[in-house]
Amino acid sequence: MAKQLFGTDGIRGVAGEYPLDPQTIHAFGVALGEDAAAAAPHPEVLIGADTRESGRWIAEMAAGGLARAGAHVRYAGIVTTPGVAYLTRTGPFVAGVMISASHNPYLDNGIKVFGHSGFKLPDAEERTIESRTLAIREQGNAPQPLSLVAEESLDGAYLEFLASACAVRFDGMKVAMDCGNGSAYLLAPALFRRLGAEVVAIGAEPDGRNINRGCGALHVENLAGTVARHGADFGVAFDGDADRAIFVSSTGKVVDGDGVLLACARALKAAGRLHGDVVVSTVMSNLGLEQALERGGIRMLRTPVGDKYVLEEMVRIGAVLGGEQSGHVIFREYATTGDGILTALRLFEIARQAGVGLDELTEDLRVLPQRLVNVRVRVRKDLAHTPSVVEEIRRAEDSFAGSGRVLVRFSGTEPLARVMVEGLDQERVERFSASIAEAIRKEMG
């Protein structure tokens, strides 16, 4: 049975509207508290949030539900999603809750849940909590929020972990950093300055409403301009909850998750630490990455879109490196989720040890023309039962004759159909991505 509340990355929606209305959030807190109490007699649950103005009241509404179920809540305040995952698995917490909608606009928000292992909850446990949430909501009890006070020591423990994970210092290095007015706005600049880098920070003045607005990982043009103006050696942009990062080289070249995976996989293989000589990525990763890895004797396995599925495959086969083109990169030696700040540490460490920049680390990555079109839909229809869409996809695949790819999927967090077309010829890529998108728009838009 399909889940009603949980998508591919927790519960997400417009803050204040179902399923992020006070009644449902409070009911979720009760349900999670009951689930936690079944695992431990006096459960502690961690809550953190990004910088959205709705984050505090959502956290306090969930905390009220948790307290009602007998759980003790501790609040990390503004922290990154990987920070919550790290603190949950290294602390006394049965579960960790992150209030964030990642790269979405400030009006949206979301709830991500981690178990004590630091992994996102398995589907079966999500279904149990969801079912109980809906049942509690139907009882109609008035939600009671719990006032929260942030514990600065929690964020500090995560900072210490990150600092200890880096084997080099960055003295003499200038880093341009776009924090997206999100979770990383204090932590990331402080960390790199501590490690000796000169940091030029932008997107580091959150006001509750400017998270991801014209800044961060989705708007790297601002970062590229900052790199150029300040003569920075490296540039990094984080999304709202800092679980992913996109990079800019000293010459302005954008390096996404595919470039990061290539550089890190090669370095790990050279050090004898790339278990099985395999990297896990998704169906969205460029064919050029797969080809570049093959030239270095490294296999790439693909999963459905979503860092959750990447991580599941990594655990299944024992892989130490995996990630997404969008910038989620998972280093299993250190983390159980994508971590943008940790990714920046690893990538800059590799560059410093090699004595090169990002251009040199990714110079032979031939990126095939790829076009992603998002189509807003009113209703999701089974693609197999939409003849006009099927016909456009078939025409594209026949034209590419094995030298390209077509991928059509629905977003797990937004009412969007995503059309990705990739091939050797830019003109055909543009033409077929537009025609498939238009077919979907007529059927479902």
CATH number at residue 228: 3.40.120.10
**Residue 290: what residue type?**
E
Q: What integer pLDDT is reported at residue 38 of this predicted model? A: 94
Residues with catalytic function: 102
Same-domain check for residues 215 and 321: no
DSSP 424: S
pLDDT at 7 over 90: no
Q: What integer pLDDT is reported at residue 75 of this predicted model? A: 98
- Residue 1 pLDDT level (bands cut at 50, 70, 90): low
Instruction: Report how far residue 248's alpha carbon sits from residue 224's, in angstroms, rounded to the nearest whole number.
Output: 6
pLDDT at 200 over 70: yes
Same-domain check for residues 279 and 215: no
Q: What integer pLDDT is reported at residue 221 of this predicted model? A: 96
Number of separate domains in the chain:
4
Compare 231 and 306 and report the one with higher pLDDT.
231
Chain Cα centroid distance, residue 380: 24
Give the total residue count for the chain.
445
What would the pLDDT profile of 102-126 be if each residue is shown by its tens digit? 999 999 999 999 999 999 998 899 9
- Residue 385 pLDDT level (bands cut at 50, 70, 90): confident
Decide if 1 is inside a domain: no
- Residue 276 pLDDT level (bands cut at 50, 70, 90): very high
pLDDT at 99 over 70: yes
Decide if 436 is inside a domain: yes
Instruction: Report how far residue 158's alpha carbon sits from residue 80's, in angstroms, rounded to the nearest whole number.
Output: 9
Q: What integer pLDDT is reported at residue 254 of this predicted model? A: 97
Q: What integer pLDDT is reported at residue 313 of this predicted model? A: 97
Decide if 243 is inside a domain: yes
Task: Name the domain boundary from 138, 153, 168.
Answer: 153
What would the pLDDT profile of 66-79 be if each residue is shown by its tens digit? 999 999 999 999 99
CATH, residue 418: 3.30.310.50
Decide if 11 is inside a domain: yes
Q: What integer pLDDT is reported at residue 347 of this predicted model? A: 98
CB atoms < 10 A from the CB of 159, how many? 17
pLDDT at 2 over 70: no
Tell me the HSE value of 348 on the side-chain side, using a 13 A CA sphere.
Answer: 33
Domain holding 431, by residue range, is 370-444
Same-domain check for residues 124 and 203: no
Instruction: Report how far residue 97's alpha carbon sits from residue 88's, in angstroms, rounded to the nearest whole number.
Output: 9
pLDDT at 20 over 90: yes
Q: What integer pLDDT is reported at residue 404 of this predicted model? A: 87
What would the pLDDT profile of 134-147 be if each residue is shown by its tens digit? 999 999 989 999 99
pLDDT at 413 over 80: no
Mean pLDDT rounded to a whole number for the chain: 95
